[in-house]
Structure 1
Amino acid sequence: MTDPTSRPPRRKAHALRWALWVLVAAIVALLVLVVVFGRQETSAVRDAGVYGSSFQLVDQNGGPVSESVLRGRPTALFFGFTHCPDVCPTTLYELAGYQKALKAEGRDLAIVFVSVDPERDTPDVLRTYVGSIGADVTAVTGDPAKVAAMLDGFGIYAKKVPQGEDYTMDHTASVILLDRAGAFKGTIAYGEDPEAAKLKLARLAAA
Structure 2
Amino acid sequence: MNEVMKHWLCLILLAVASLAPAGCSRSSEEPPLQGASIGGPFALTDQNGRTVRDSDLAGRYRLIYFGYASCPDVCPTDLQVIGQALTQFEKAAPERARTVQPIFISVDPERDTPAVLKDYVGAFHPRLIGLTGPVEQVRAVAKKYGIYFVKQDSEGASSYLVDHSRQTMLFGPGGEPIALVPSDEGAKAVVETLDKWVK
Indicate the TM-score class for this superposition, using the shorter chain for normalisation: 0.7 to 0.9
Q: Which has the higher helix share?
A: 1
Q: Following superposition of structure 1 onto structure 2, how do residues 6-155 of structure 1 map, counting pairs within 5 Å? A: 51-105=38-92, 106=94, 107-108=96-97, 109-155=100-146
1:175 to 145, 152, 168: 168
The residue matched to 1:162 in structure 2 has which SS?
coil
Shift of 1:188: 2.4
Letter in 2 for 1:82: A
Unaligned runs of 5+ in 2: 1-34
Structure 2: distance between partners of 1:70 and 1:90:
26
Structure 2: distance between partners of 1:136 and 1:116:
20
Give the aligned partner of residue 197 of structure 1: 190
1:187–1:77 Cα change, 3 Å = same
Letter in 2 for 1:177: L
Give the aligned partner of residue 15 of structure 1: none
In the TM superposition, what whole-angstrom CA distance separates every residue of 1:79-126 from its partner, at most 9, and x where no partner exists?
000000111111111111111111112231221000000000000000
Structure 2: distance between partners of 1:112 and 1:88:
13
Letter in 1 for 2:104: F
Unaligned runs of 5+ in 1: 1-47
Structure with max Cα Rg: 1
Shift of 1:70: 4.3
Structure 1: distance between partners of 2:90 and 2:190:
16
Question: CA RMSD, aligned part only?
Answer: 1.9
In the TM superposition, what whole-angstrom CA distance separates every residue of 1:114-150 from its partner, at most 9, and x where no partner exists?
0000000000000011112221001100111111111
Q: Which gives a bigger RCO, structure 1 or 2 (Cα 8 Å, sep 6+)?
A: 2
Structure 1: distance between partners of 2:78 and 2:48:
22
TM-score (normalizing by structure 1):
0.71
Aligned length: 159
TM-score (normalizing by structure 2):
0.73
Contact 1:49-1:182 within 8 A present in 2 as well: no
Shift of 1:198: 2.3
Letter in 1 for 2:193: K
Shift of 1:189: 4.1
Over the matched positions of the two proteins, sequence identity in percent amounts to 34
Are 1:163 and 2:150 an aligned pair?
no
